[in-house]
Amino acid sequence: MDMIEWQPVILSIKVALISLVFIFLFGVSAAYLMRSTHIPGKAAIEALFTLPLVLPPVVTGFILLVLIGKQGPIGILLNRYFDTQIIFTPAAAILAGTVVSFPLMYQSTKAAFESIDTILEDAARTLGASEWRVFWTVTVPLSWPGLLSGMVLSFARTLGEFGATIMIAGNIPGKTQTIPLAIYFASEANDLTTAGIYVLIISIATFSLIWGLNHWKVGK
């Protein structure tokens, strides 16, 4: 394995871990709000949340590029007020992974929340528990298997993210090159040995994650 660069592996893990923090926060918050509120256009909002799951990743990447590029509304604001840009940086890879993997966390969390018997939550409220305490002491513990599933699937999906990442982060060796990008460009250069090693690494990693999750579920 001395023939490969480990930077794409390390960067992919960092991107997936940081993305997972945002995915968890946004996914759980969105699922809880959609469960506990009845607002006009709720179906449209949920469709929007799920859209990155069914859109080709390159389309999601193009939309992000339009938004955060130098001429995009967000890109212009970042450049004007913070003198910075996200495009073609590791932050762009994190953004791509977060957006593309968010629906997996949202759908898993939503299903977990909807499976909870609301009588248990109401009982806690009648005993004087605040909504915040009900959420952390009743809702989260009862929905934890679904939350964990969402986290594992989101992490694995972020590890394998390619389309949106290459659109907004590019392929800069040592800076934004993740495992999927390294595989693609190694294959393009006819370096099938290096590509094969990267494929083996990411396949073992994602298989181990899914196997571990399934093994945990069976053992419960």
Tell me, what DSSP letter sits at residue 135?
A: I
Distance set, CA 174 to CA 15, 75, 119, 145 (Å): 13, 24, 53, 37
Radius of gyration of the chain (CA): 20
Closest CA to 165 of 105, 89, 71: 89
For residue 212, the model assigns a pLDDT of: 92
For residue 3, the model assigns a pLDDT of: 64
Mean pLDDT by 10 residues, the chain (220 residues): 79 96 96 86 91 94 93 89 90 96 96 91 89 91 93 96 94 93 94 94 94 81
Angle at 174 between CA 170 and CA 176, to 5 degrees: 25
CA 213 to centroid of chain Cα atoms:
17
**Cα–Cα dist 24/217, whole Å:** 20
Taken in order of first residue, the domains within the chain and their CATH numbers are 7-178 (1.10.3720.10)
For residue 37, the model assigns a pLDDT of: 81
Count the Cβ atoms, other than its own, within 10 Å of residue 190: 8
Count the Cβ atoms, other than its own, within 10 Å of residue 136: 12
For residue 18, the model assigns a pLDDT of: 97
Count the Cβ atoms, other than its own, within 10 Å of residue 121: 18
The pTM of this model reads 0.92
